[in-house]
Amino acid sequence: MRDRALHQRERHGSIGPSLPSQHGPATADRWPGTGRILAALVLSATVLLAMAPAPVAAQTEQRPIRLIYPFPAGSAGDTVSRIVADGLQASLGRTVVVENRSGAGGITGVRAVIAAEADGSTLLISPTAPVVIIPAYNPSAGYQTETDLTPISHLVSQDLALAVGPGLSAKNMAELLAEVRANPAKATYGTPGAGSSLHLMGVKLATQTGIKFTPVHYRGTSLALNDVVAGQLPMLFSALPDQVEQHRAGNIRIIATSGRTRSTFVPEVPTFTEAGVDIASVSWFAAYAPAGLAAKTAEQLSAVMAQTVRRPENAKRLSDLGFIPVGSSPAELATLLKAEKSYWLPVIREAGIKTP
């Protein structure tokens, strides 16, 4: 029988069916159809991987960047936003969309950014008032810039100015103060809105000179400027570029500018400081992100924005609008915010501005 069993092994190679080797996987020869099954499994896994969602970081890189400007389109600040948007898109290779979220003096747009995810996909460009002045006197705004926003970059600055119309004969600050002291009814000035830095400049002028100046608040600068030109309003505080054309045409006279040095637009006009009034504050626009943005991302965005506003063709375009390109670091913007709040808070208290 032993010889017969050996004979069977020699004829068939084994007794009973072959088993997979313990030293390796079963082969297609040992398990018919195995190769086709493995190929199907590999194909299925490949399809599933292709259908799986991209990692969060990859999704963020592809998501468009929303650049929120909290006022209507068409203004000088909106132009700044679009210049920065173009620079971000060119440098980062991502779509950048400027979104005008106006309302409540800029509060609506600021709140939209604060509520967004802090991943660099939602940014804010704002002038001074919505981030410095409004939170200081209006608790219902519901935010504080220092804790609810991440500073990115101080983008541009712009001188402010005081101009008089044909209703006043003054050609300089001394003459103006003498004239309104003698005629208190003429101590009335227009502003582009209550609680704006231009409103507060009038308050500061009153504090400095001891003269009671009465503000008349307009919805924007253009209507106030028209009334000054027509002689229906004695004087106006506004951004300097708004006044230059009418000043050169002789329809109004710019009495003083707010920068620490004279403006290149009207070098013949003294600063407030030179005119004996302690006012030295400019309007500025800056970029922010929601609180919690990674410091590395903030630095990267800041670098791109600084390069954008300083690029020669953009710097000229901004200069033509009356802006001075800056492009600061996040830390420099944070320092500016603190300084501006300290500067304006006493003026706000002096003005007695109440929550709307």
* pLDDT, average across residues 31-53: 49
**SS3 string of the chain?**
CHHHHHHHHHHHCCCCCCCCCCCCCCCCCCCCCHHHHHHHHHHHHHHHHHHCCCCHHHHHHHCCEEEEECCCCCCHHHHHHHHHHHHHHHHHCCCEEEEECCCHHHHHHHHHHHCCCCCCCEEEEECHHHHHHHHHHCHHHCCCHHHHEEEEEEEEEECEEEEECCCCCCCCHHHHHHHHHHCHHHCEEEECCCCCHHHHHHHHHHHHHCCCCEEEECCCHHHHHHHHHCCCCCEEEEEHHHHHHHHHCCCCEEEEECCCCCCCCCCCCCECCCCCCCCCCCEEEEEEEECCCCHHHHHHHHHHHHHHHHCHHHHHHHHHCCCEECCCCHHHHHHHHHHHHHHHHHHHHHHCCCCC
Tell me the Cα Rg of the chain: 34
CATH class of the structural domain 59-157+283-351: alpha beta
Q: What confidence category does residue 30 fall into, taking pLDDT thresholds of 50, 70 and 90?
A: very low
Pick the CATH number of 160-257 from 3.30.70.260, 3.40.50.2000, 3.40.190.10, 3.40.50.1820: 3.40.190.10
* pLDDT, average across residues 241-252: 94
B/e letters for 198-226, b = 16+ CB within 10 Å, e = fewer, are bbbbbbbbbbebeeebebbebeebeebbe
- Look at residue 196 in the predicted model and tell me its pLDDT: 86
Q: Which residues pair with 67 in a beta bridge?
A: 98, 123
- Look at residue 55 in the predicted model and tell me its pLDDT: 42
Cα 214 to Cα 202: distance, rounded to the nearest angstrom: 8
How many of the other CB atoms lie within 10 Å of CB of 345?
14
Nearest to 351 by CA among 254, 258, 217, 235: 217
Cα 229 to Cα 252: distance, rounded to the nearest angstrom: 6
Cβ atoms 73, 100 nearer than 8 A: yes
* pLDDT, average across residues 172-176: 98
- Look at residue 39 in the predicted model and tell me its pLDDT: 52
The mean pLDDT value of the chain amounts to 86
Cα 200 to Cα 340: distance, rounded to the nearest angstrom: 12
Cα 102 to Cα 129: distance, rounded to the nearest angstrom: 13
Do domains 59-157+283-351 and 160-257 share one topology? The answer is yes
Cα 74 to Cα 201: distance, rounded to the nearest angstrom: 25
Q: Which are the contacts of 332, defined by CB distance < 8 A and separation ≥ 6?
A: 154
- Look at residue 61 in the predicted model and tell me its pLDDT: 59
Q: Where are the domains positioned within the chain? A: 59-157+283-351, 160-257
* pLDDT, average across residues 38-64: 51
Q: What confidence category does residue 333 fall into, taking pLDDT thresholds of 50, 70 and 90?
A: very high
How far CA 210 is from CA of 124, 169, 213, 246, in Å, comes to 38, 21, 9, 29
Q: Which of 12-26, 103-117, 155-169, 267-281 has the lowest mean pLDDT?
A: 12-26
* pLDDT, average across residues 120-143: 94
- Look at residue 220 in the predicted model and tell me its pLDDT: 79
Is residue 173 pLDDT above 90, yes or no? yes
**Angle subtended by helix axes 76-92 and 312-320, to nearest 10:** 170
Nearest to 341 by CA among 167, 135, 182, 198: 135
Better-scored residue on pLDDT, 41 or 282: 282
Q: Which of 51-65, 179-193, 246-260 has the lowest mean pLDDT?
A: 51-65
